[in-house]
Amino acid sequence: MGNGGSFWLPPASSTVAGEVDSIFYFVYYASVVLFILVIGLTAFFVFRYRRRGGTRQFTSGFSHSNVMEVTWTVIPTILVFVIFFWGFNGFLKMHVAPKDALQIKVTGQKWFWSFDYPSGASSVNEIVAPVNKPVELLMSSKDVIHSFYVPDFRVKMDVLPNRYTKAWFEATETGEYNLFCTEYCGTKHSEMIGKVKILSELDYQKWLEAADFDTTIALHEMGERLYKSKACVTCHSIDGTPMNGPSFKGIWGKTEHFADGSSLTIDENYIRESILNPNAKVVAGFQPIMPTYQGILKDRHIDAIIAYLKTLK
Amino acid sequence: MSTATATFPQKHYLNDPPGLKSWLFTLDHKRIGLMYFFAIMFFFTIGGILAMLIRLELLTPQGDFFQSGDTYNQMFTLHGAIMIFLFIIPSIPAALGNFVLPLMLGAKDVAFPRLNLASFYIYVVGSIFCIYSIVTGAVDTGWTFYTPYSTSTTTSVVSMTSGVFVLGFSSILTGLNFIVTVHKLRAPGLTWFKLPLFVWGLYATAIIQILATPVLAITLLLLILERTLGIGIFDPALGGDPVLYQHFFWFYSHPAVYIMILPGMGIISETVSVFSHKKIFGYKFIAFSSLGIAFVSFLVWGHHMFTSGQSELAAMIFSFLTFFVGIPSGIKVFNWVTTMYKGNISLEAPMLYTLSFLFLFCIGGFTGIFLGALSVDVHLHDTYFVVAHFHYVMMGGTVMAFLAGVHYWWPKIWGRMYSEFWAAIAAFLIFVGFNMTFFTQFVLGSQGMPRRYYTYLDQYQPLHGFSSIGSWVLGLGFLIMAFYLVGSLFKGKIAGNNPWGALSWEWSTTSPPPHHNFETVPEMTHGFYDYDTVLVNEHGEKVYKEEPVSV
Amino acid sequence: MSTVAQDASHPEYLAHHFSDIEQQKESAKLGMWIFLATEILTFGGLFCAYAVFRAWFPEMFHDAHKVLDLRLGTINTIVLIASSFTVVYAIYCIQRNNRTGTVINLALTLLFAATFMVIKYFEYSHKIHVGQLPGHFYFYDGLEGTNPHLFFGIYFAMTGLHGVHVLIGMGLITWVMIGTLKGRFSSEYYVPVEMVGLFWHLVDMVWIFLFPLFYLIG
Ligand code: HEA
Ligand code: HEA
Ligand code: CUA
Ligand SMILES: [Cu+2]
């Protein structure tokens, strides 16, 4: 990240960031000047006209001046006009994506992000995009409101349920950037953070091919990767400690008891159902908070996860 | 006129009539104001303690002090909700305003004393709902109660929102009472443009209270219906619109921030003149700018929603109008500064807080301008920059003005003085601690640190750590204040009618004032800011200057 | 020069902090108008919600309004307008010290209000029965459009809040009626009667808006 950022602002790594920063600094310096004026005068008056000797004095009756009132109405007015137009201009640029933008679908969900690429590939909590190419995000949420925020790109947009919102960026440098959820969304709002990985065009194409499904490794290893990359790990441990969800340790073949009193022996169909329709059977002692992975995990992915779960003795 | 050595009146509103019952059923605005004062200080302390816990948790990046994110989320929600609805909104109008307004008007009471008492008890009922919510699982929605989160979480949202709903009525009744009082109960001779500026501030505030609060009431009612019956108006799953909720909420809550600041600005207009011992500069401009702010404040709510998906046109209009709140605020600031020019300035505690106010409110206000600029707000929205902004305006602005007012009227309320020495130390610690705590948060925010985060990335640790340390300095300042203020009630030296040599009417009666406010009714013999021609000497006597000095 | 009332006749209905009846009356009136403004804003919020959803689902609103009973709505409108007249007449009577006239007119007003509530009761219970209800409770299947439950959500919120106001108004009217019977009011002092009358007009006025918005929209 060549551009190291400054005391006030993080590195500016997208095409719109520079403009945002220049308005920021314009307002900043205008404020500093006005602030020094106001506080400087205050300090001077306090010192110059302080009460000496403790007795009250008659003071000047100087109590109005239209010239002064007009001055300090007009100058700030001009100033705010400039700030308004400048800020609005930048805002429009942020809102209108270039025509040729690459479109990535963003889904926010408690408490992770998933991304779908035009090729059919998908990823979780890590959005991968090429450098120097406009990327448009088509976003929606599956539950409450979230917000997609990449400080280094100066991009932020709320992600709403039952509605699409859009944002776009064009990264100017390859590298990894932080992605935050900035709309409060509950227990793990502060852990709903991910990465933006900006690759060269070539690396991006390679990544896309690999992302879809890696056939060079064993099925259960693929399952393990998915366990980590699709955020199962945030709720399910593999060492026997229950977290938000039951632990996967020794899950295969055990008899599971459900909140409605029924029970069954865990098999492939049950796991498939748990992933696609998690609330159909809710394990006793847990809240029905697991999100559905319908549309995120393909059949091959589920096969891989099942293979992996079988290995967890 | 009072005599050279200050005496403490035998009978005054505090002991006449005597007995607990006479307090609980009192119709006296001074007693009601005082009861409000104790109630809000109680909640301020609770809110402050919650804030200290929040800062303690944020000392390190990982979660360590609270069991889980849930506990943390409840902490900041309660901190925000208590500070806003139970402390800052009633603080200046209901506590200080109630006490001072009729005195300033030369009236015996507010227009509707029974309504005034009712509004206090409505406040109490509302606060009980809120406390009930806290003990039955608290709320974790943030003080803004955004849907659909607030309609789906399992915490006690209904009792908290019902509490806020009830508190709204208390606020409406106070506002209604004040407007009628100002219109109808001014003593003869006291025309609109002779009113003390604090009265103008309260009047402008009251207008917002009565026009904005009903909308909050209906919004919360719909939210409660949504949660209990699922009527679907805000629920996207049923075809409703969560963004509509945000519009409704901010339609109240933006004007509400001026409910908080306008009375504070009123206090500053008083103290800056009294302690500079100089005629207030630009009286009419200060008075009208209050009304201007009140008016514009209804048109800018959308600036809280620049990234919510509202249309670009709406965002543009809201941004444009937002800046126009800055102009009248600036007019006030410049008039205050000019008031000090050629004054006779004494740095007693109220003036120290007044100067803190000027310093901190300017920073808070300027950073509001950053947030109003559309593209900059996209970056800063929901980061610690916003958190720092609103603490600078609310804590650095309103609370400083409130403290200035408390120290200014303390001798009038109790008849006794606090220790100037300890007051200066506390003011210094609060000023330094406040800046340590919150200035760092501007940097955190502009560097991208989101708000409402229980854990955070390591890179933000140094600044968060510094902020937490600052909060201890701040807390220490308040602790000292609590001690010397309480101490003054027992040991403080007797204040006399007019310790600051101020000219408005509340200083012409005894301290503490008698039950009916005035033994001899005040007369309009000079303006309340005429320090160029009238002077109250050390013996409390008024000295008139034959001819006013020309500039 | 004083705020202390000097006149010997300080009647008991004049509160101590007012200097004369005129001041007290003016204050009460101003207070009442401000209160009415807050009421209008409260309903204003709901009218906004109505406007938003109607703009979003115009066809659905149109279809849904047809299931409301226009006949009952019209009767209720007439009943409320009539009650406004009787209230005006009650005030007119008390200004002329005609207590009997006041009581009769207030009683008539109460009667109209009760009629209104009875009709509302029948309307509501029919809706509850067939499932024309808000949100999750909706189970009526005679309507096609998108989200018809939203129409009923707003319908019940608005007419419900209005109904609560009618009930409060009935309580207030009963209160001033008793006061008149006990002889507390006269042509000298009738501020409470007048204030209750103002409140009642507000209740009517809100209905005058609700009626076309729900029953007549085309
Ligand atoms: C006392 C309360 C108070 C006050 C007075 C203000 C005052 C202002 N506020 Fe603030 N604000 C809040 C309380 C307050 N605010 C709160 C609580 C929130 C967050 C709520 C939440 O999300 O939880 C918030 C959030 C907030 C936002 C939304 C940020 C976001 O979430 O993205 C914005 C955006 O425009 C904003 C703007 C302003 C402006 C322009 C002013 C102006 O009124 C400031 C005017 C003052 C000055 C400008 C200084 C003095 C002027 C001069 C010396 C003259 C020279 C001036 C110029 C050249 C302009 N505020
Ligand atoms: C009036 C409003 C107000 C005030 C005064 C404060 C005061 C403080 N606030 Fe608050 N704050 C809010 C309103 C306020 N806050 C709001 C609205 C939010 C947003 C909530 C949300 O996101 O939903 C917020 C959020 C907020 C956060 C962000 C949490 C997050 O986003 O994760 C933080 C973090 O540092 C914080 C800290 C503090 C601190 C350290 C103080 C300190 O200044 C407190 C100092 C006070 C004390 C220490 C009390 C001591 C008192 C005594 C010792 C007794 C004195 C008694 C007498 C004088 C008789 N606040
Ligand atoms: Cu998702 Cu916060
Ligand atoms: Cu605002």
Q: Kindly report, residue by residue over B250-267, the tens digit of the pLDDT.
A: 988 999 999 999 999 999
Q: Of B164, B310, B319, A145, whose CA–CA distance to C52 is shortest?
A: B310
Average pLDDT for residues B394-402, to the nearest whole number?
Answer: 96
Write the CATH number for B278: 1.20.210.10
B426 CB near ligand 2 (under 6 Å): no
Instruction: Name the average pLDDT for chain B.
Output: 92
Report which protein residue has its CA nearest ligand 3's atom 1: A146
Is the residue at A51 inside a domain? no
Please judge whether C135 and B231 are an interchain contact, meaning their C-beta atoms are less than 8 angstroms apart: yes
Integer Cα distance of A149 and B380 in angstroms: 10
Residue A195 forms beta bridges with which residues?
A: A126, A178
Residue B180 has its nearest CB partner, among C31, C48, C149, at: C31
Integer Cα distance of B494 and B10 in angstroms: 13
Q: Which tokens in the block code for residue B523? A: 């007369």
A134 and A95 Cβ atoms separated by less than 8 Å: no
Cα angle A169-A172-A177, degrees, rounded to a multiple of 5: 70
Q: Please determine, for residue B157, whether its predicted confidence score (pLDDT) is greater than 80.
A: yes
> Are A297 and A197 found together in one domain?
no
**Interface-testing mutation among B280, B307, B342, B347, with chain A (most A C-beta atoms within 10 A):** B307
Phi/psi region, residue B278 (left: phi>0; alpha: psi -120 to 50; beta: rest), is: beta
Residues of chain C with pLDDT under 70: 1-10, 218
Pocket of ligand 1 (CB under 6 A): A 34, 38, 76, 79-80; B 144, 257, 260-261, 303-304, 322, 325-326, 329-330, 333, 362, 365-366, 368-369, 371-372, 377, 381, 386, 389-390, 393-394, 397-398
Query: Among the listed ranges A294-298, B74-78, B271-275, which one has the minimum average pLDDT value?
Result: A294-298
Q: Of A153, A84, A77, whose CA–CA distance to B370 is shortest?
A: A84
Nearest atom in ligand 3 to A183's CA: 2
Residue type, B544: Y
> Are A163 and A21 found together in one domain?
yes
Write the CATH number for A162: 2.60.40.420
Neighbours of A270 (CB within 10 A): 15
Q: Tell me whether A85 touches chain B (CB under 8 Å).
A: no
Give start and end residues of each alpha helix (H) in B277-311: 283-296
Count: domains in chain A: 2
What's residue A11's pLDDT?
A: 92
Q: Please determine, for residue B549, whether its predicted confidence score (pLDDT) is greater than 70.
A: no
A192 CB near ligand 3 (under 6 Å): yes
B469 CB near ligand 2 (under 6 Å): no
Integer Cα distance of A32 and A281 in angstroms: 61
Is the residue at A162 inside a domain? yes
Integer Cα distance of C37 and C19 in angstroms: 27
Q: Please determine, for residue B2, whether its predicted confidence score (pLDDT) is greater than 70.
A: no
Q: Which tokens in the block code for residue B138? A: 């608290």
What pTM does this model have? 0.88
Domain boundary among A212, A247, A267: A212
Please choose from B329, B381, B452 the residue to mutate so as to test ligand 1's pocket, defined by most ligand atoms within 8 A of CB.
Answer: B329
CA of A110 to the centre of ligand 4 (A): 28
B148 cis-preceded (ω within 30 degrees of 0): yes
The alpha-carbon gap from A284 to the nearest alpha carbon of chain B, in Å, equals 18
Residues of chain A numbered 182-221 and touching chain B (CB < 8 Å): 182-191, 193
Integer Cα distance of A279 and B256 in angstroms: 42
Phi/psi of residue B11, each to 5°?
Answer: -115, 130
Q: Tell me whether A178 touches chain B (CB under 8 Å).
A: yes
Answer with the residue of higher pLDDT: B230 or C173: C173
Phi/psi region, residue A289 (left: phi>0; alpha: psi -120 to 50; beta: rest), is: alpha
Average pLDDT for residues B277-301, to the nearest whole number?
Answer: 92
Answer with the residue of higher pLDDT: A250 or B96: B96
**Chains C and A touch each other (3 or more Cβ pairs < 8 A):** no
The CA radius of gyration of chain A, in Å to the nearest whole number, is: 28
What's residue C24's pLDDT?
A: 86
Integer Cα distance of A241 and A239 in angstroms: 6
Residue B244 has its nearest CB partner, among C15, C34, C52, at: C52
A307: pLDDT confidence band, cut at 50, 70 and 90? confident
State the virtual CA torsion across B532, B538, B540, B543 in degrees, nearest 10: -40
Q: Tell me whether B539 touches chain C (CB under 8 Å).
A: no
Residues 6+ apart with CB under 8 A from B178: B93, B97, B101, B110, B202, B203, B205, B206
A312: pLDDT confidence band, cut at 50, 70 and 90? confident
Answer with the residue of higher pLDDT: A155 or A221: A155
Residue whose token pair is 């609590």: B482
Q: Tell me whether A234 touches chain B (CB under 8 Å).
A: no
A146 CB near ligand 3 (under 6 Å): yes
Q: Please determine, for residue B60, whether its predicted confidence score (pLDDT) is greater than 50.
A: yes
Please judge whether B230 and C146 are an interchain contact, meaning their C-beta atoms are less than 8 angstroms apart: no
Average pLDDT for residues B162-179, to the nearest whole number?
Answer: 95
Residue type, A196: V
pLDDT per position as a tens digit, A98-109: 888 999 999 999
- C62: exposed, middle or buried (C-beta count within 10 Å: 0-12, 13-18, 19+)? middle
Q: Please determine, for residue B186, whether its predicted confidence score (pLDDT) is greater than 50.
A: yes
In the 8-state DSSP scheme, what is residue B85?
Answer: I
B4: pLDDT confidence band, cut at 50, 70 and 90? very low
Integer Cα distance of B250 and B229 in angstroms: 24
Integer Cα distance of B27 and B517 in angstroms: 13
B258 and B205 Cβ atoms separated by less than 8 Å: yes
Is the residue at A53 inside a domain? no
Strands B534-536 and A155-159: unpaired
The alpha-carbon gap from B75 to the nearest alpha carbon of chain C, in Å, equals 31
Q: Which tokens in the block code for residue A214? A: 């890696």
Q: Please determine, for residue B551, whether its predicted confidence score (pLDDT) is greater than 60.
A: no
> Are A198 and A241 found together in one domain?
no
Answer with the residue of higher pLDDT: A21 or C216: A21
The alpha-carbon gap from A206 to the nearest alpha carbon of chain B, in Å, equals 30
A142 CB near ligand 3 (under 6 Å): no
Domain of residue A230, residue span: 219-311
A2: pLDDT confidence band, cut at 50, 70 and 90? very low
Please choose from B65, B161, B395, B486 the residue to mutate so as to test ligand 2's pocket, defined by most ligand atoms within 8 A of CB.
Answer: B395
Is the residue at B4 inside a domain? no
The alpha-carbon gap from C218 to the nearest alpha carbon of chain B, in Å, equals 22
A184: pLDDT confidence band, cut at 50, 70 and 90? very high
Residue A187 has its nearest CB partner, among B68, B326, B366, at: B68
Please judge whether B551 and A24 are an interchain contact, meaning their C-beta atoms are less than 8 angstroms apart: no
Is the residue at B28 inside a domain? yes
Integer Cα distance of B222 and B239 in angstroms: 15
B512 cis-preceded (ω within 30 degrees of 0): yes
Residue A68 forms beta bridges with which residues?
A: none
CA of A191 to the centre of ligand 3 (A): 8
Average pLDDT for residues B128-134, to the nearest whole number?
Answer: 92
Q: Which tokens in the block code for residue B97? A: 């305003």
Integer Cα distance of B308 and B249 in angstroms: 13
In the 8-state DSSP scheme, what is residue B304?
Answer: G
The CA radius of gyration of chain B, in Å to the nearest whole number, is: 23
- Which CATH fold would you assign to the domain C22-215? Four Helix Bundle (Hemerythrin (Met), subunit A) (1.20.120)
Chains that touch B (3 or more CB pairs under 8 A): A, C
Domain of residue B342, residue span: 20-544
Integer Cα distance of B291 and B297 in angstroms: 10
What's residue B382's pLDDT?
A: 96
End-to-end Cα separation, chain B, in angstroms:
31
Residue type, B351: M
Neighbours of A58 (CB within 10 A): 19
Count: domains in chain B: 1
In the 8-state DSSP scheme, what is residue B455?
Answer: S
* B375 chain-A contacts, CB cut-off 8 A: 16, 19-20, 23, 86-91, 93-94, 154
Please judge whether B378 and A46 are an interchain contact, meaning their C-beta atoms are less than 8 angstroms apart: no
Is the residue at B153 inside a domain? yes
A148 CB near ligand 3 (under 6 Å): no
Is the residue at B415 inside a domain? yes
Integer Cα distance of B308 and B315 in angstroms: 10
Please judge whether A160 and B279 are an interchain contact, meaning their C-beta atoms are less than 8 angstroms apart: no
Is the residue at B532 inside a domain? yes
What separation in angstroms does the CA of A202 have from each of A131, A176, A199, B7? Answer: 10, 16, 8, 89
> Are A84 and A175 found together in one domain?
yes
pLDDT per position as a tens digit, B511-532: 899 998 988 778 888 889 999 8
B461 and B61 Cβ atoms separated by less than 8 Å: yes
Is the residue at A191 inside a domain? yes
Q: Please determine, for residue A3, whether its predicted confidence score (pLDDT) is greater than 60.
A: no
What's residue B547's pLDDT?
A: 59
The environment of the single-atom ion ligand 4, i.e. residues with CB closer than 5 A, is: B 254
Residue B277 has its nearest CB partner, among A31, A59, A151, at: A59
Is the residue at B8 inside a domain? no
b vs e for B266-291, b when ≥16 Cβ sit within 10 Å of the residue's Cβ?
A: bbbbbbbbbbbbbbbbbbebbbebbe
Is the residue at B422 inside a domain? yes
Is the residue at B399 inside a domain? yes
Q: Of B167, B186, B356, whose CA–CA distance to B252 is shortest?
A: B167
Residue type, B262: L
The CA radius of gyration of chain C, in Å to the nearest whole number, is: 21
- B507: exposed, middle or buried (C-beta count within 10 Å: 0-12, 13-18, 19+)? buried
* B279 chain-A contacts, CB cut-off 8 A: 59-63
